[in-house]
Amino acid sequence: MSIVIEPAVLEEALAGGVLIGLAAAGLLLVNGRIAGISGILAGATGPQPKIWQWAFVLGLVAAGAAAAPLGRALPPALGQEPLPLLAVAGLLVGFGTRLGNGCTSGHGVCGIARLNPRSLVATCVFMLTAGLTVFVTRHLLGHG
């Protein structure tokens, strides 16, 4: 079985990766902070939020909101799943980021770039868990 990736999808993925890298590097250079989304969100909703944390979070929301008017649709899976299931999934992801002391952006993008051993282990656990989740839902439960 071979996987064929459309050139346009590859270009969008490459552009997205470059933008994530630039945002992470910019935040580190300008604020001296790691672009870990779960940590930034926790700080923004904590007792002493900083303006830059809210600006970062609002920028993420604005980028998603701007997708539809620019002709970008939601991933098909989001439109197929019931909202309560998505909410539970989001809560589980939030729990996992607190349990793992960070998320894929903090560990996978910034931590690995800094050659942090803890981040390498955390990212391997994230990817293994994602792979197992796909295997279970597609092959054992028959979804997707």
Nearest to 53 by CA among 29, 37, 30, 32: 37
Residue 124, pLDDT score: 93
Q: Is the full-model pTM beyond 0.95?
A: no
CB neighbour list of residue 44: distance below 8 Å, 6 or more residues apart: 50, 53, 54, 56, 57
Residue 16, pLDDT score: 84
Residue 2, pLDDT score: 67
Phi, psi angle pair for 40, to nearest 5°: -65, -45
Q: For the chain, 144 residues long, give each residue's pLDDT as a single digit of tens.
A: 567 778 877 888 888 889 888 988 998 899 888 888 888 988 999 999 999 999 989 988 888 788 778 877 766 666 677 888 888 988 888 888 888 888 888 888 888 888 999 999 999 998 998 899 889 988 888 876
Rounded to the nearest angstrom, the gap between the alpha carbon of residue 72 and the centroid of all alpha carbons in its chain is 18
